[in-house]
Amino acid sequence: MEDERSFSDICGGRLALQRRYYSPSCREFCLSCPRLSLRSLTAVTCTVWLAAYGLFTLCENSMILSAAIFITLLGLLGYLHFVKIDQETLLIIDSLGIQMTSSYASGKESTTFIEMGKVKDIVINEAIYMQKVIYYLCILLKDPVEPHGISQVVPVFQRQSLTLSPRLECSDSHHSLQPPPPRLKKSSCLSLLRTWDYRCAPPRLANFFFYF
């Protein structure tokens, strides 16, 4: 079963969220962001080459032009391989774990799998970004040495900076990240997620993070 909706990120760009329901114990959320636009690519290339040509007229050295071409190519390859993310996927498998995959524009995929036994809790954190407050979902991992401590905070959909509006339109991804059946310990966060009402104060103090 597939479903697609569109949202906007912090900077106002369009994001598309696809939800796939495989079975009661397995769901996938796929967030895709717009591809590299030809306009911005042309603009950057033209700027670099104009600057190189300007330097060439000053120095009369043709090495500058070849260096500019080299730099443009390397920069583009580096950007496509390390920076530009096309799609981020969140796969939730009951009693196995949570998998987060980022696929880059050059085809590279980097995957992280977190076993269910390591997940301590799933919370919504507030963060201050420039002049606004954004909310993001993150997974808290257990500390093996200290039973009540947290070893790591892993934000879901890190690169795309998906923000949640106060009406929680993206409520489905929260509902899916439910804790295991009542036989095992219940997360106190569950009640927070199901009955989120922005008019009343949340039962738990959120952590504040400052993003720059």
Partner 1 sequence: MVLKAFFPTCCVSADSGLLVGRWVPEQSSAVVLAVLHFPFIPIQVKQLLAQVRQASQVGVAVLGTWCHCRQEPEESLGRFLESLGAVFPHEPWLRLCRERGGTFWSCEATRRQAPTAPGAPGEDQVMLIFYDQRQVLLSQLHLPTVLPDRQAGATTASTGVLAAVFDTVARSEVLFRSDRFDEGPVRLSHWQSEGVEASILAELARRASGPICLLLASLLSLVSAVSACRVFKLWPLSFLGSKLSTCEQLRHRLEHLTLIFSTRKAENPAQLTRKANTVASVLLDVALGLMLLSWLHGRSRIGHLADALVPVADHVAEELQHLLQWLMGAPAGLKMNRALDQVLGRFFLYHIHLWISYIHLMSPFVEHILWHVGLSACLGLTVALSLLSDIIALLTFHIYCFYVYGARLYCLKIHGLSSLWRLFRGKKWNVLRQRVDSCSYDLDQLFIGTLLFTILLFLLPTTALYYLVFTLLRLLVVAVQGLIHLLVDLINSLPLYSLGLRLCRPYRLAAGVKFRVLQHEAGRPLRLLMQINPLPYSRVVHTYRLPSCGCHPKHSWGALCRKLFLGELIYPWRQRGDKQD
Provide the binding-site residues for partner 1, judged by CB under 8 A. Answer: 22-23, 25-26, 28, 91, 93-96, 99, 101, 111-113, 115, 117-118, 144-145, 151, 180-181, 183-184
DSSP per-residue string spanning the chain:
-EEEEEEE-TTS-EEEEEEEEEETTEEEEEEE-----HHHHHHHHHHHHHHHHHHHHHH--THHHHHHHHHHHHHHHHIIIII-EEEEEEEEETTTEEEEEEEETTS-EEEEEEEGGGEEEEEEEEEEETTEEEEEEEEEEEPSSSTT-EEEEEESSTTTT----TT-TTHHHHHHSPPPPTTSPPPTHHHHHHT--TTSPPSSPPPEEEE-
Closest distance of CB 108 from partner 1, Å: 12
Nearer to partner 1, 17 or 100 (CB): 100
Nearer to partner 1, 12 or 144 (CB): 144
Write the CA distances from 122 to 18, 80, 151, integer angstroms.
Answer: 21, 32, 14
Closest distance of CB 22 from partner 1, Å: 5
Nearer to partner 1, 1 or 200 (CB): 1
Closest distance of CB 35 from partner 1, Å: 23
Closest distance of CB 104 from partner 1, Å: 14
Nearer to partner 1, 26 or 168 (CB): 26
Closest distance of CB 18 from partner 1, Å: 14
Write the CA distances from 101 to 1, 31, 121, 157, integer angstroms.
Answer: 20, 10, 20, 9
Nearer to partner 1, 22 or 211 (CB): 22
Closest distance of CB 70 from partner 1, Å: 24
